[in-house]
Amino acid sequence: MGKLRHRSSLRLPLLFASFVKLEHSVFALPFAYAGAFLARNQIPGFWKLLWITLAMVAARSLAMGLNRLIDYRIDARNPRTAGRELPAGKLSVDTALAFLAISAALLAFSLYHLPRITWYLSPIVVAAFVIYPYTKRFTSLCHLFLVATIGLAPVGGWVAVSGRLAWKPFLLMAVVTFWIAGFDIIYASLDVDFDRSEGLHSLPASIGIGPSLWVTRAFHVLAVLLMLAVGRVEGLDGFYFAGVAVCAALLAYENAIVRPGDLSRVNTAFMTMNGIISVVYITFLTLDLVV
């Protein structure tokens, strides 16, 4: 009986974690740290990092939760996504709304402990969270709207430490923009037939998988070039540029394992490789700052 009660108490938190793909926080969080570290070329104190982390996790949970809620009827018609929590009935709409309210409250509480400017800028960020899920209904550039939300992570980290806006974190935002837009195009390749049948928009649905994968490769080359630009602008040294070289190699591998006629390794390219790239980037950046 005790084991059953324990499993029941864990069920809802695990459903929420799956609902927002909590493990995907590894994509944006390291770049938020990168913005925070580069704001003053040092690692902030424990409490500052804690509030940045909580704000980022809350913001991402809110963004993903909104995406899942707005799209759950579409997801229910897609065989690939019909098993997600809302369309499968594992979570109710009311429960999802309660989760969104909790995420918004945690975000507000975290921002209360950060510079006031983060609070003033937060409505822009939340508006982007609401707008993004609708973009696939009218534009094939929806991949770039996605990164308008996730790409704000390094800007948020910078502002949370410095207390002001500057142009430099937008260079990091550009890195995230082309990196994530590239792998989102790869991921969208899985739904080409469904998107076309539903009148939804994505680059693969509009121009085909093959040409779209070439756009991904171009975006990832730009991401690497922008990483190099960040290093030059910030006066970083050997560790950082070694990390960029590793990221470039990983991106090359990610693009090599996905082909128009073979999408069997898309999930490896999407989750595994991009999670590793994020960790590699922040690890080598941190080494450059502390060694």
- What does 40-85 look like in DSSP terms, one character per residue? TTSPPPHHHHHHHHHHHHHHHHHHHHHHHHHHHHHHHHSTTTTTST
Residues 124 and 65: their CA atoms lie apart, in Å, by 17
Is pLDDT above 70 for 285? yes
* Residue 3 within any structural domain of the chain: no
* CATH number of the domain to which 20 belongs: 1.10.357.140
In a domain, 4, yes or no: no
Structure tokens of 246?
């590793």
Q: Is residue 67 part of a domain?
A: yes
Is 139 part of a structural domain of the chain?
Answer: yes
Q: Is 201 inside any structural domain?
A: yes
- Model confidence over 22-36: pLDDT tens digits? 666 777 889 999 999
Evaluate whether residue 277 is within a structural domain: yes
**pLDDT of 6 over the 50 cut:** no
Residue 101: count of CB within 10 angstroms of its CB: 12
Provide the domain limits for residue 181.
13-290
The amino acid sitting at 8 is S
Residue 205 placed within a domain: yes
Locate 203 and state its tokens. Answer: 């680059």
Predicted pLDDT of residue 50: 96
- Domain for residue 104, yes or no? yes
**Mean pLDDT value of segment 42-49:** 94
pLDDT above 90: residue 207: yes
* Structure confidence by residue, pLDDT tens digits, 141-177: 888 887 767 788 999 999 999 999 899 999 999 999 9
pLDDT at 46: 94
Q: Is the pLDDT of residue 4 over 50?
A: no
Residue 152 in tokens = 């704000």
Amino acid at 221: V
Distance of alpha carbon 71 from alpha carbon 130, whole angstroms: 11
The total of structural domains in the chain comes to 1
d(CA 181, CA 236): 26
pLDDT at 8 over 60: no
Q: Render pLDDT for 87-143 as a digit per residue (tens, 0 to 9).
A: 999 999 999 999 999 999 999 999 999 999 999 999 988 898 899 899 999 999 888
pLDDT, averaged across the chain: 89
